[in-house]
Structure 1
Amino acid sequence: MNHSWLQDMYSVRHKWVHVYTKLHFTTGMTTTSRSESMNSFFNEFVNASTGLKEFIENSQKALEKQYLREREADYETKNKERSKITSSSLESHATSIYTKEMFRCFQHELKESGAYVVIDKERNAIYKHYEAYKTTVQEEYRKYIVLIVTDNGNITCVCRKFESSGMLCRHIIRYLYKMQWSEIPKQCITLRWTVEGNERVGALQHKRPKIGNFLESQPARYSTLCKAFQDLAARGSCSIA
């Protein structure tokens, strides 16, 4: 088929097809989820009728609110206890390393891992091959997930959840239980999602920028006056006098 647009899209398939993008760390976000969440967040502060001056001031308020959310989340991570769903040492270790939100994600995968079993398939001097499958699915419909463990301890799952989101998948968690690991291996921990993440990288620095003599510019004054006239017209239209 001689379709130039389809040919162009196919030539850059490694940038948008999930089978390729899941090999890269994207914090688990899809192409549109980030923009949609940001739009929803800023809609609380700005809209189509917001003037230029108000837009800058309200955008700053939005950023300050987000900053306070981050600080509150950091406080809860460091000072509030987590509710565990098992008595395993693996989950206990997760409570000490992950932030509050990422511990919740770990618990979800931990809960789902209970439906899987991991079996040995092949061993050699370079790697060990395991397969995980869901026991609640009939044998003829089962999907077998391949796990590869190299001689240096690296664990790779074909689902690539860890590579794309930085969080362990249920298949690797089930493998760790099978091998009786008491702690999550260091190579399976993403610094970004840990309690020490901000301390190691550096705390978020926040300073309110100075807008300066914003209204000295003619476009800014014009925008402010237009917004004032709109409000005045709206009030005036409510009366016939």
Structure 2
Amino acid sequence: MNRKAPQTVLTDQNMHLKEAVQKELPNTKHALSIGLIASRFPSWFNAVLGRHYNDWENEFYRLHNMESTMDFDLGWSDMVSCYGLHGNRHIASLFASRKLWASPYLRGHFLAGLAALPGISKIKDFIQRLLSAQTCLSRLIEQVAVVVDYKDQAGEQQIAQQNSENTILKTAAPVEGHAAAVFTPYAFYELQDELVEAAHYAYFHLEGNAFLVRHHTKTDGGCNVTWNQKEELISCSCQMFESSGILCRHALRVLTTLNYFQIPDHYLPVRWHRTQPQPSKSLIGGPDHGRSYERVKALQSMVSVLVSEAGKSEERMDLATQEVSVLLSRIRQQPVVPNVSGDSVRRQR
């Protein structure tokens, strides 16, 4: 991972994994996958709850998706009382570990949407199919690489298909069209859902750069949104962007109200872009591979900003096209010098 520890690691409730993450990745957030936990609910609660199981499960997910930790804790207590689960060891264990799986406690930690992925248990099943008592690590990596390569090809085909079709837009907001042109199908539909919901939210300008956004049926509560126009930075107390990389309905409500027709560049993460050019192979494997990779990523980010800014007017697009053509011509005139290691240089001397 380019010598960088992951921001977050999702696992099941295996205590050995928890200890390993704490020891080897002390700066990484360890979280439990709600998908893997929920896959065990039938065996834990079906017999206990009987015909009330489905109602309890719906209430569990409602609590899981709450925004406030205080509301979660109070709601959990009510749920335990309502379904007579006092003394149930699974309920006690879930509550004790809530800071590792409940959404209100994980806000602000980047999860890329995986924590709430319904089919995440299928990932575990897939890995288990590859594993056996005799499986060595190198063989496992080879098998996973084959599947990842296949998935990459499938993803490219999906994006190509989407490019050739008309994306169905659900709102009249220009930011939706902007997102459709930039984002992968997954990221676009996630943002589209938030944009549709944003229409049902009222916003109140408090003072300065502060806004309060809440559902139109509510008379209290809501989320606090802060907007820095100079830096084009927006933040929301729900911390959805920090957790998923997708702007929340509250932030989108403020942006659309302020007549923003494009999503600010900072909120177009490269990971959600339709196309992500890979670093040149000539930059890979050299002694400065890590530094070269970072430079390539920085260049990709600059190009993304260039395209976004150029698309704001015909004049900007003409200027960008002209200047990039000149720059590209100059770059092609430069000699290509392969990377050599320090040892090679010393040997030549």
In the other structure, the counterpart of 1:145 is 223
Tell me, in whole angstroms, the C-alpha distance in 1 between the residues paired with 2:122 and 2:241. 23
TM-score, with structure 1 as normaliser: 0.62
In the other structure, the counterpart of 1:102 is 187
**Structure 2: which amino acid aligns with 1:177?**
T
Displacement, 1:56?
7.1
Question: What secondary structure sits across from 1:199 in the alignment?
Answer: coil
Tell me, in whole angstroms, the C-alpha distance in 2 between the residues paired with 1:111 and 1:202. 40
2:175 to 86, 90, 115: 90
Displacement, 1:27?
1.8
Tell me, in whole angstroms, the C-alpha distance in 1 between the residues paired with 2:135 and 2:234. 53
1:26 to 111, 114, 117: 111
Displacement, 1:59?
6.7
In the other structure, the counterpart of 1:65 is 147
Q: Which runs of 5+ in 2 are unaligned?
A: 1-26, 32-98, 282-349
**Structure 2: which amino acid aligns with 1:69?**
K
2:268 to 167, 183, 189: 189
Displacement, 1:193?
0.8
**Structure 1: which amino acid aligns with 2:257?**
K
Question: What secondary structure sits across from 2:277 in the alignment?
Answer: helix
Tell me, in whole angstroms, the C-alpha distance in 2 between the residues paired with 1:201 and 1:104. 28
**Structure 1: which amino acid aligns with 2:226?**
I
Query: Higher RCO, 1 or 2 (CA under 8 Å, sep at least 6)?
Result: 1
Tell me, in whole angstroms, the C-alpha distance in 2 between the residues paired with 1:63 and 1:160. 33
- Alignment deviations for residues 76-131 of structure 1 (CA, whole Å, 9 cap, x no partner): 224423222123311110111100111111111112112112110001xxxx1001
Matched, 1:177 2:262: no
Tell me, in whole angstroms, the C-alpha distance in 2 between the residues paired with 1:155 and 1:200. 30
Displacement, 1:35?
7.5
Displacement, 1:19?
6.1
Identity percentage of aligned residues: 20
Question: What secondary structure sits across from 1:168 in the alignment?
Answer: coil
Tell me, in whole angstroms, the C-alpha distance in 1 between the residues paired with 2:235 and 2:122. 31
CA RMSD of aligned residues (A): 3.5
> How do residues 83-232 of structure 1 correspond to structure 2 at under 5 angstroms?
83-123=168-208, 128-135=209-216, 137-139=217-219, 142-150=220-228, 151-196=230-275, 198-199=276-277
In the other structure, the counterpart of 2:157 is 75
Displacement, 1:177?
1.2
Tell me, in whole angstroms, the C-alpha distance in 2 between the residues paired with 1:19 and 1:98. 27
In the other structure, the counterpart of 1:39 is 124
How many residues align? The count is 181
- Alignment deviations for residues 158-201 of structure 1 (CA, whole Å, 9 cap, x no partner): 011111211110111111110111111112211111113x2166
Q: Which runs of 5+ in 1 are unaligned?
A: 1-11, 204-241
Change in Cα spacing, 1:42 to 1:202, as seen in structure 2 (3 Å) is: farther
Tell me, in whole angstroms, the C-alpha distance in 1 between the residues paired with 2:261 and 2:150. 35
TM-score, with structure 2 as normaliser: 0.45
Displacement, 1:143?
2.3
Tell me, in whole angstroms, the C-alpha distance in 1 between the residues paired with 2:126 and 2:135. 19
Change in Cα spacing, 1:15 to 1:67, as seen in structure 2 (3 Å) is: closer
Question: What secondary structure sits across from 1:104 in the alignment?
Answer: helix
Normalized per residue, which structure has more helix? 2
Change in Cα spacing, 1:61 to 1:163, as seen in structure 2 (3 Å) is: same
Deviates more, 1:142-151 or 1:14-23: 14-23
Displacement, 1:24?
3.5
